[in-house]
Structure 1
Amino acid sequence: MPRLTPLALPAYVVAVTHLGGRAAFALGDGSVHLGHAADDVRAVQVHDGGILAAVAAPDGKSLITAGDDGRVMATDAEGATQLLFEKKGKWIDQLACGPQGAVAFASGRMAWVRLADGQVVEFPHEKAVGGVAFLPKGLRLATATVDKAILHWVTAKGAPAELGWKGAHTGITVSPDGRFLVTTMQEMALHGWRIEDGKHMRMTGYPAKVKSVSWSPKGRWLATAGANAAILWPFSAKDGPMGKPPLQLGPYPKLATQVACHPTEEVVAIGYQDGMVLAVRFGDQAEVAMRHPSGEPVSALAWSPDGMTLAIGTESGAAGLVDIGAA
């Protein structure tokens, strides 16, 4: 049976990942907490202010964070930090890691990409940037903004490609195979495009805004929060989810606030508005409780690379590590 080790952290958990066998929690007070047991948590003050966004580097060796101090920082499993970028006076609230050591971030109407050699490339926008993501192959940046998503070449020459759809696009993700681009919207919906030809995909019916998405290991499904269950859209066919019903996993009286697909199995962890966390298998919809309700919304979820540990964070700082291989 899964065993939960509770952790009491001092602030809102913005994001969580795993570095070198340790969970890494990025908090709203600007600190990163590293550990794998309640009595083995190291706190590192990384930002002079709050952390607004955090993602794991693709190599799993560092946590990249962006904050309201205008800094982008890297923190490794031992707590060593490195300044990657600084723009004083800016709130950097969008962040993504990509191929070849590239890191993308955005504030207001400007997006930047920092290359592995330290060079920084700017991408000005007409309206505020709502999200950044990299395509999995090549060095190409996708950004979400008002009325469109934009695909930019980072180092190669070529005009950006625009994918239009009316409305404010507040987040962006690209399928692991690079075929589909999906945005979350200010309205309670997702919008998608097939990248090769710009074909539209409309995903609606949510009772709340979608603020968490996660691709299944091979990109066959896109799991989303924002409803009283995890909504999983099928993306294995050429036309993605068009004409196909989504899976609805883990139905529950409270809204799902976070989703995280298992790294190897067709299983999704779902965090809810009251602190409940379920793990649900796609095929037979079997459920296992990973954490029971505690009153505060789940704000972060992340599986370890081997899929044996689930890290959980909440808005109050109550956190935990679930060992699914525990006897």
Structure 2
Amino acid sequence: MPTVAPLDLEGHVVATHFLGDIPLFATAAGNIHRLDGGEKVIEAHQGLLTCIRDPHSATLLTGGEDGKVLRVGHDGTVTELAHVPRKWISVVAGGPQNAIAYGVGKSSFVRLGDGTIKEFKEERTVEAIAFAPKGLRIAAARYNGVTLHWVATAGDPIDLDWKGAHTGVTFSADGKFLVTTMQENALHGWKLDAAKGGTDARHMRMTGYPAKVKSISWSVKCKWLASSGAPAAIVWPFAGKDGPMGKAPLELGTRSDIMVTNVAFHPLEEVLAIGFADGMILGVRLADQKEALLRRPGKGAITSMSWSNTGKLLAFASEAGDCGIVDITA
């Protein structure tokens, strides 16, 4: 079995990410614990709501109950990017050329690399934001769908409508697909090259989950999209031009009555880490669905997992604060 280096933190741990070879753990209380030659603590927020890894730089982006958006470096430096007094910032995204986006109420804001801030008003509260992989474009998830905005040009926004509350949003790395998590037990997707046609053919319905999907992860070449929300990881095929339409998903790491709470694809191989409500973590290879136990059950549900760039280390966090690093080469 791989070796596990445990780390016990106090309270709910929202997220864990690697910056280079340095793992960081962000707690709901607002502290970020950095394991760099020993444990070092960054006091980032008065209440942390979200923490993501900026896909375009070796930094974290965080939002908090104090109305701040921060950038945290691998060396522990903290830079304030935005401050909206008396508002909670629970939605952040990282884009190209040092751009970031964040949601406040019914508005999406994009802060460009030169400090310029652009506001895009929505009809409903912004629940999630994602940058498109090509071009400076954002998708803002809201009630009854998603709105696409061009940031650097004056193009009209495009509304992708589907009834219900959309709580998360992600683009495939090739920009062909957009997928949302929903308040109901489902994912919904759009095939973007068909979005201008105005037909229902562009919709992708991914339903049948027994619980709400709170975690999704793309495989290294975007052939698969893994998701939580069932007593197995539900992995949808996206290799074809129509994505998962008309195809059944894989069900990996099935356990009879214990829910999957977090999923994380390996950065180099089609291997999926699956975290469960009891704290257990499985690694599953998609080619033959072979399973490996990466961590035995712990104190709390797995809330976040992150692979190092080499894929040799897996950091994990839990709602009870029992966290750690798994060395899969050991």
* Pair 1:243-2:246 in alignment: yes
Amino acid at match of 1:213: I
Contact 2:56 2:94 (C-alpha < 8 Å) held by counterparts: no
Q: 2:143 and 2:243 mapped to 1: Cα distance?
A: 23
- How does 1:174-185 map onto structure 2 within 5 Å? 174-185=171-182
Contact 2:312 2:327 (C-alpha < 8 Å) held by counterparts: yes
Deviations 1:271-295 (A, max 9, x none): 1001001111111111111111123
**Unpaired runs of 5+ in structure 1?**
none
- CA RMSD across the alignment: 1.1
| Aligned-pair CA distance for 1:317 | 1.0
Q: 1:135 and 1:42 mapped to 2: Cα distance?
A: 34
Count of aligned positions: 323
SS at match of 1:197: helix
SS at match of 2:193: coil
- How does 1:98-177 map onto structure 2 within 5 Å? 98-177=95-174
Contact 1:134 1:142 (C-alpha < 8 Å) held by counterparts: yes
Q: 1:161 and 1:197 mapped to 2: Cα distance?
A: 12
| Aligned-pair CA distance for 1:107 | 2.3
1:214 to 217, 222, 228: 217
The percent of aligned pairs where both chains have the same amino acid is: 49
| Aligned-pair CA distance for 1:11 | 2.5
Deviations 1:120-141 (A, max 9, x none): 1111111111110011000000
Amino acid at match of 1:207: P
Q: 1:130 and 1:59 mapped to 2: Cα distance?
A: 22
Deviations 1:142-192 (A, max 9, x none): 011111111100111110001111111111111010000011111100110
Contact 1:148 1:164 (C-alpha < 8 Å) held by counterparts: yes
Q: 1:322 and 1:140 mapped to 2: Cα distance?
A: 36
| Aligned-pair CA distance for 1:221 | 0.4
Amino acid at match of 2:67: G
**Unpaired runs of 5+ in structure 2?**
196-201
2:300 corresponds in structure 1 to 296
Amino acid at match of 2:143: V
Amino acid at match of 2:167: T
1:254 corresponds in structure 2 to 258
Contact 1:36 1:321 (C-alpha < 8 Å) held by counterparts: no
- Runs of 4+ with deviation above 4 angstroms: none
Q: 2:97 and 2:222 mapped to 1: Cα distance?
A: 21
2:207 corresponds in structure 1 to 204
Contact 2:128 2:169 (C-alpha < 8 Å) held by counterparts: yes
2:44 corresponds in structure 1 to 46
2:198 corresponds in structure 1 to none
Deviations 1:176-218 (A, max 9, x none): 1000001111110011000111300000000000010000001
Deviations 1:210-256 (A, max 9, x none): 01000000101000000001001011111110111101110013100
State TM-score, norm by structure 1.
0.97
Contact 1:189 1:209 (C-alpha < 8 Å) held by counterparts: yes
Contact 1:24 1:63 (C-alpha < 8 Å) held by counterparts: no
Contact 2:189 2:205 (C-alpha < 8 Å) held by counterparts: yes
Contact 1:19 1:60 (C-alpha < 8 Å) held by counterparts: no
State TM-score, norm by structure 2.
0.96
2:12 corresponds in structure 1 to 12
Contact 2:56 2:96 (C-alpha < 8 Å) held by counterparts: no
Amino acid at match of 1:322: V
* Pair 1:278-2:282 in alignment: yes
| Aligned-pair CA distance for 1:36 | 5.5
Contact 2:275 2:302 (C-alpha < 8 Å) held by counterparts: yes
Q: 2:122 and 2:215 mapped to 1: Cα distance?
A: 24
